[in-house]
Amino acid sequence: MGNRARTAHVEFRGISKSYDGRTLVVKNLDLSIRTGEFVTFLGPSGSGKTTILMMLAGFQSPTAGEILLDGRPIQDLPARKRGIGMVFQNYALFPHMTVGANLAFPLEVRNVGAEERTELVDRVLRLVRLEGFADRRPSQLSGGQQQRVAIARALVFEPELVLMDEPLGALDRSLRDEMQYEIRRIHRTLDVTVVYVTHDQQEAMVMSDRIAVLREGIVEQIAVPEGLYEEPERAFVARFIGESNLLKGRVTAVLDEVCEVETGGEKVHALKVVACETGDPVTLSIRPERVAINSVPGRYKNEVSATVEDLTFLGDQLRVRLTACGRSDFIVTIPNIVGHSPLLRGDSVRIGWTALDCRALNHERS
């Protein structure tokens, strides 16, 4: 497995898609996916992620641009000839066939011999831990089991690329968590390339090698999960991945990597992520857990005064809502560890954070 060349398996080149000829649901997508990689398209509904998947699967054709699979353009190849496994949103198991027949179906249409068929089906059933379920009908299985069958069916004919379109959407929370690890395990076992679509950021974080955050047909940022969280490049990503205090402000000074920004009457220093000059509007992103309350004065580059508005106890952390920088929804979370100082509603406090944890991003309209 490891000796397989880590080359581009899938490549989108200038892909655009419009259904009505006017509005583009996918705009000029350029993206390359390596062999064996697990890439997730993450975005709210309407962001174009499913359209991208459907174009890759062959159910939609791009309005412009080309899609390469192993270096060959595939726009003119019908879906059935692309050899791509696909897991659909609601499983799309064939209800009139048993589990075994569902799994044998892609092999039969490929004229795989009966003996080999049985062997492959058994193997994939073991892979998804459903040995002995071959004779059941899909309707006799639980949601999670149906999901496993759907995944097994997309894998049984040993495709090198598997697409998954919100496969866990219909499952409840705990089952979804379990299945995320299951899919990750299967991915690692088989070393196939997976392109995954979801609107659930946690799901994306758990499984993906890289995540492409989509918004209105545009990839806002593509990065490894840690990168998206720690170094969001766009305000939308900062908001969509994890939680962020997003403060609007105006640049008052620029010094190399850092800029000085005026927001809500306070002057703060921020890491210059977006190219900006004095006078430009920017959005500052500050993660709630990177803000300290009442720490030693002068320890942080940025220190402002604030008033505690609300306290919420969440078990592992304390969530504090403050008025600061001219806003009353400034959130700070404090891990529930020994020794943090008690706070009361109405307390006046000092909060502080480093310039590195305060990212100056593109100005966002709303």
Q: Enumerate binding residues for another protein (CB under 8 A).
A: 57-59, 78-86, 88-90, 92, 94-96, 105-106, 109-110, 153-154, 157
Length of the chain: 366
Q: Which is nearer to another protein, 154 or 228 (CB)?
A: 154
User: Least separation, in Å, of the C-beta of 81 and another protein?
Assistant: 8
Q: Which is nearer to another protein, 161 or 204 (CB)?
A: 161
User: Least separation, in Å, of the C-beta of 66 and another protein?
Assistant: 20
User: Least separation, in Å, of the C-beta of 20 and another protein?
Assistant: 14
13, 196 in Cβ contact below 8 A? no
Number of CB atoms found within 10 A of residue 210's CB: 18
Q: Which is nearer to another protein, 21 or 279 (CB)?
A: 21
User: Least separation, in Å, of the C-beta of 77 and another protein?
Assistant: 12
Q: Which is nearer to another protein, 3 or 111 (CB)?
A: 111
225, 239 in Cβ contact below 8 A? no
Tell me how far apart the alpha carbons of residues 42 and 273 are, in angstroms, rounded to a whole number. 22
User: Least separation, in Å, of the C-beta of 345 and another protein?
Assistant: 52
Query: For residue 256, what are the CA distances in angstroms to 126, 259, 279, 299, 320?
Result: 57, 8, 16, 22, 33
Q: Which is nearer to another protein, 74 or 247 (CB)?
A: 74
Q: Which is nearer to another protein, 136 or 327 (CB)?
A: 136
- Burial, 2: exposed, middle or buried (Cβ in 10 Å; 0-12, 13-18, 19+)? exposed
| Tokens (6 digits) for 341 | 């100082």
Tell me how far apart the alpha carbons of residues 82 and 97 are, in angstroms, rounded to a whole number. 24
- Burial string for 252-261 (b: 16+ CB within 10 Å, else e) reads eebeeebbbb
User: Least separation, in Å, of the C-beta of 324 and another protein?
Assistant: 49
User: Which 3 state secondary structure label does DSSP give 116?
Assistant: helix
